[in-house]
Amino acid sequence: MASTVNILSALKRRLRSQGITYKQAAEALELSEVSIKRLFAERSFSLLRIEKLCELANTDFAELVQFADAAQQQLDQLSLEQEQQLVADANLLLVAVCIINYMSFADIIEKYDYNEPALIKSFTMLDKMNIIELLPNNRYRLKLNRRFSLQPNGPIQSFFVNNMLKEFLSRKSAQEKAPFQLAWGMLSKNSAQELQKKIQRLFDEYLQIAEHDKRIPVSEKLTSSLFIMFHEDMEPTLFTQQQKNT
């Protein structure tokens, strides 16, 4: 059975997917917003309070446990073979990206040039690859964690570098005067580690926003990308060549 941590995480996701705020959850439990946040942070909910929030989120405790179990079984990383299979078929890779971004079968048909048989074939392939569980009426359950990691220097990373990175860096958005920003500084080991944590928090926030916006119609959303690269100990070769030998 799922742990308390996973059950509360599933409850938070369920509340978020229903558009229920901390304030609304606090009102349902007759608590302050600060108190509800503390309860989630300390994971100190009573069963009665969990059941009340389940009712608010239009679910029940048994179903919540199922959500938690499903999330616990999600993959944190694709295998090398899975990545190779995805990059070998651009259409399959696109469908996988759409699915990771919560797009439904109908959403994909609406946005991209697929016919139903072709898209069903891609869904079936992803099911065989154990990336999704195919459900009736072209629905699915994602078996891949939204915060999954790529194989280091693997097929998908290589695909991105070879096919997308140059376009990514050269693309100007309407709000920016420059395609990207580059900074070079000297940091202590502790500062570098703290910066890495902040970068990870930014990625987590980006994914949380995307998850929050999944209920917004696809036609009202922009397809976005977030790319950040930080090297802890890196200096251009042009500069290192001028260093004195020690």
Interval 145-193: pLDDT, tens: 767 778 888 898 888 888 877 777 777 655 565 556 778 888 898 999 9
Phi and psi, residue 53, nearest 5°: -70, -35
Q: What is the DSSP letter of 29?
A: T
Q: Any alpha helices (H) in 113-183, and if so which ranges?
A: 116-128, 155-163, 165-170
All structural domains of the chain with their residue ranges:
4-72, 75-145, 169-246
DSSP 3-state of 157: helix
CA 110-77-154 angle, to 5 degrees, is 90
> How confident is the model over 80-86, as a mean pLDDT?
91
List phi, psi (to 5°) of 236: -55, 145
Q: Best-predicted range by mean pLDDT among 4-18, 94-108, 131-145, 172-186?
A: 94-108
| Those residues with Cβ within 8 angstroms of residue 60's Cβ, 6 or more apart along the chain or in another chain | 51, 54
Q: Where are the beta strands (DSSP E) in 56-118?
A: 75-77
Q: In this model, does residue 74 exceed pLDDT 70?
A: no
Identical fold, 4-72 and 75-145: no
- Tell me which CATH code domain 4-72 carries: 1.10.260.40
234 phi-psi bin (left φ>0, alpha ψ -120 to 50, beta other) = beta
Q: What are phi and psi of 6, to 5 degrees?
A: -70, -35
Task: Pull the structure tokens for residue 104.
Answer: 């439904």
Q: Is the dihedral of CA 63, 65, 69, 70 positive or negative?
A: positive
pTM over 0.75, yes/no:
no
Q: pLDDT tens, 219-236? A: 888 888 888 888 888 877
- Report the CATH fold assignment for 75-145: Arc Repressor Mutant, subunit A (1.10.10)
Q: Which residues of 60-81 are buried (b: 16+ CB within 10 A; e: fewer)?
A: eeeebeebbebbeeeeeebeee
